[in-house]
Structure 1
Amino acid sequence: MDFIKLPGFGLPVDYMPGDNRHFPLLLGTGSDFEANTLTNLELCMLRFIEEITNKSDWWIKVHDPTIASQWKTEALEYDWGQYLRYGDFTTAMADACIEEMKLKASLYQQANLLPVYDYTAAIVKPDHLIPDDLWQTLKHGVKVLEDVPAAVKEWHPGSDRKVLNLVHPSMYPLRFLNKTDQSDSEYETEEYDSSKDRDMPDSESEDEDDNEQERDPNHVSEKEVKCRDLRWFYKTHPVVAPEPSPESKLKFCAEDIKLMGFFHNILPETGPQRLQVIVKIANIHLTPEDPNYPGGSWHTEGQINEHICSTALFYYDNENITDSYIDSEPCTIQSVGSVLTREKRALFFPNVFQHHVNSFKLADPTKPRHRKILALFLMDPAIPVISTANVPPQRQDWWPEELGPIGDLPFDERIAKEFRRDLMEERSANEWQAYDKIKRAEWNFCEH
């Protein structure tokens, strides 16, 4: 029988594969991720493309010479010194940006994906990736979590009752030294890492449970997601060949496609067996009495032992909220720019950006309104971690009475909040240490 070996269970908590095929991290080893410093003119070009691609139907308008000429004129007349010290814009820069956006327009129309701030890494910001029916299903499904008595609503600590947690992974984290796993292997982890907590990811699986207490009738099943993935694959990987005769049909699947270049270097030879994600859903509520949101803190996602390699954000409901941006940190670390967030926009970016949500407020200060966000944090496929595939639910109110406690499990809400407090304090301390480490860099400035 093969024992389970995962970071923190049979392997050190800070385990990293030796073949260097994991995705890069900003806070990884010294050579894990490096980016050259951009010139001020390059930063202005990146900003120009970001602003233009926020316009409606930009992918069509960029091919209209009259509209493209107008954008060019506006860029040349703008005082770029207001955006960036010593900023400037030339005719050649404008022409290059227009040509680049024509290429991006083709990609956007084919795959609904738009990379911006792309040089060493990139941020992808699609506005039409999520179908309307799936978007409405998500909004309807989340209401089950929202429509609860005020006494049991979970307001995020320190948010002044502005950030409402609907799904927060740090409430019931994995406790390395207090954990019973569904396997025969034992491993003491304290000597490898002082951290005793980690957000627990969900693993993609096909479980059917007749005793499930509550399921939205409009719940988006994993089978539906897989069907969408299959349709996406055949749409983006068309077979360029003459129409075959009925008796010689060509059948192939994703596994038949030979990996080349970047993909061959990153993915394990056998390919990932499953995807692991940490799920988070939160609402930001503003009122006429308190109409301003000050913004979030600077951070990268997770800690090293969580192996988060990228983030997906979906702003599925904005109402009466001013524009806000995912912003970047100035100082010794170079600020690459900011990306506009708005309703129905998704953002994808690798975990090499230190970032935060900029401030925003009520557009109409007389009406209370909100912003709602779904966040998915993808674990590195090359480094599987302990997840819901190995660990049963830890919430006391989820366990049938006849099972009873098993050691320190399960734990109630009071203990869960203590664990969350400890985890947040540890992460804050690590963020300050990381910030101090990064800002002391003199060369090869990290990307933000």
Structure 2
Amino acid sequence: MNALSWALHSKEDWQRKAADPKIRAKWYEEAVSQIDEDDEDELMTEGMRACSEAIWYSDRLIQDDVLQRLKSAAKALEDVPDSEKDWHPGSDDQVLDLIHPSLYCLVYGRTHAYLPNEPRTAANLLPVHRPPTTRFESLTSSEHAMYDKRFNERLLAQLDDFVSEDFCWMPSDFAVDSDGVVALASPYINNLHPVKHQSLYRAIEEILTAFIPMFERVLGDANLDMSGRNAPYGPIGSRGYVNCIWDNLREEPEDPRSFPKTLPEAMEYEGQLEEGFKPVPLRGMTIQCIIKLANIHLTPENPQYDGGSWHIEGMANEGIVASGIYYYDEENLTQSKLAFRSPVGDPHYHFQNDHECQVMLYDIDNNTNCVQDLGAVITKAGRALSWPNLYQHRVSPIELADPSKPGHRKILAIFLVDPTKALIPSASDVPPQQAEWAVDAFEEAWASAGPRSVLSALPLELRDMIKEEILASGTVMTLKEAEDYRLELMEERTSSIKYHNEVVSERTFNMCEH
């Protein structure tokens, strides 16, 4: 059903076509023709309806003039000497980072921030320390739905492993007015110079403005009241209300294959989920977003990108609740998809070794992963895509369409921090950590100083001493330091992703009770 839903929603102008009874009838016939005859009655009953997975996309979200401004502004980051290009570590010179939150990230105990609501003086510029978190409180609001306290205490006991002791991506604050128009509220976006790249700042604000309605809908889906969708849980071990496959039998037959199966009819669905849907308003708020701008470049010598791993964005420190990606440019690449999956809890209401029922109901066999595949979205140029950060996602492999020519794909990613939680340290309180920016600012101040300025009277030796003091202040980092911290952060998050997959997404399904 997920695949069918994606196929229909991917059709151009699908809303108009879906309102036409003739087209709907044709779609139904096409769908039925692709289903095995034995499965037709089970999969296409009148009471069934494809569920909303809180994944939204649009091919018309960003206007063409905004797209052109983004492309033009991004070229200033792309057209730099090869020695200054920041190829993502481990990407085999295929992923070019233009803006990446792992570089010059917030390092606990090393990064300095001004005390909130205090004068911006040196005395109030202090190292940032990791905020205290408890296991369940470290979850974002949307993750509470995934980690059910009743049945997953074992997982909750391990949540500290998803909190970084050392690092945090640093967001910027954005003000959203009552009309949904976004303006940067912080002095800068991390790793994007606020003076040299003003045009890119404006483009990012325009694109985030377009994403606000989509984020509001994603959060609305993620927070949807699911009461009434499932039967209430009874005490663990109670199965009195379950009458699954074998009608009028008090216990599972010795040989299930010898008995006719009676499947319950799906209850009539009257659109309760859609009626209960309410977008989560972001207008009139100050939200925090982490910005990423990156390209994939393939060449005839290096023609294939192997794709990514299953992961969610960030760690509990960032509290990312939703991701948005704008695929703004692509050339000479094969079709690529972004796949989604979600961990599921193992059911607590079946007989031991109820093998046939588990396969029929869940399409999950014994000793397979407790994970539900949610389908994949084609990621073509011009597409804007958003989803809740409780889903893992993975980029499919890509290769050159014409292996004799180079190709590329360019994205702008926006990670939305949970707007219901207290603000985390951001570019509003953390001065830029780039030592190069600080030295350049001093040089510009000296060069523009008038003849009566104290700066203009400084001898060269004193100016050099001041620059050395800036570098030794502990409030800025050299590029080498930032790159070293990035490698440590990447190693930590790789381990966290692996651990998350082991304890959450790749737990095995087994109805054998011990």
Contact 1:310-1:377 at 8 Å conserved across structures: yes
Bigger CA radius of gyration: 2
1:332: how far off? 2.7
Cα distance change of structure 1 residues 435 and 74 upon mapping to structure 2, 3 Å threshold = same
Structure 2 residues not aligned, in runs of 5+: 116-123, 134-162, 175-183, 215-274, 342-367, 443-465
Distance in 2 (CA, whole Å) between partners of 1:306 and 1:405 is 28
Shift of residue 67 of structure 1?
3.3
Superposition pairs of residues 284-433 of structure 1, within 5 angstroms: 284-328=296-340, 331-383=369-421, 384-399=423-438, 400-401=441-442, 404-405=470-471, 407-433=473-499
1:400-432 superposed Cα distances (whole Å, 9 cap, x missing partner): 335724632211111111000000000011111
Matches within 5 A, 1:215-294: 215-217=197-199, 220=202, 273-294=285-306
**CA deviations over 1:74-113 (Å, ceiling 9, x no partner):** 21222569xxxx9x4459838788xx7xxxxxxxxxxxxx
Report if the CA contact (8 A) 1:177-1:190 is conserved: no
> TM-score with structure 2 length normalisation?
0.60
Moved more, 174-183 or 211-220: 211-220
Write the distance in 1 (CA, Å) between the matches of 2:281 and 2:206.
25
CA distances 1:289-318 after superposition (whole Å, capped 9, x unpaired): 222111011111100111111100110011
Aligned to 2:171: 201
- One of 46, 51, 63 as aligned partner of 1:131: 63
| 2:28 maps to 1:72 | yes
Q: TM-score, normalised by structure 1?
A: 0.68
CA contact (8 A) 1:310 1:349 kept: yes
Bigger Cα displacement from structure 2, 51-60 vs 389-398? 51-60
Pair 1:440 & 2:422 matched? no
| CA offsets 1:356-388 (integer angstroms, 9 cap, x no match) | 111121222222111111100000112210000
Secondary structure of 1:50 counterpart: helix
Distance 2:507 2:212 in 1: 46
Identity of aligned residues (%): 35
For the residue of structure 2 that corresponds to 1:140, the secondary structure is helix
d(CA) in 2 for partners of 1:56, 1:359: 25
User: Equivalent residue of 1:433, what SS?
Assistant: helix
Which residue is 1:106 aligned to?
none
Change in Cα spacing, 1:362 to 1:273, as seen in structure 2 (3 Å) is: same
Question: Which letter does structure 1 place at the counterpart of 2:437?
Answer: W
Q: Partners in 1 of 2:113 and 2:86 — Cα distance?
A: 28
* Matched letter for residue 432 of structure 2: P
Distance 1:75 1:91, change over 3 A: farther
8 Å contact kept, 2:369–2:507: no
Amino acid across the alignment from 1:131: Q
Structure 1 residue runs of 5 or longer lacking an equivalent are: 1-44, 101-116, 233-259
Q: Is the 8 A contact 2:323 2:388 kept in 1?
A: yes
CA distance in 1, matches of 2:205, 2:417: 21
Task: Indicate if the aligned counterparts of 1:75 and 1:94 stay in contact, CA closer than 8 A.
Answer: no
Equivalent AA in structure 2 for residue 388 of structure 1: A
Distance in 1, matches of 2:6 and 2:212, equals: 31
Q: RMSD in angstroms over aligned alpha carbons?
A: 3.6
Distance in 2 between the 1:118 and 1:168 partners? 34
The 1:80–1:283 alpha-carbon spacing in structure 2 relative to 1, beyond 3 Å, is farther
Counterpart of 2:44 in structure 1: which amino acid? M
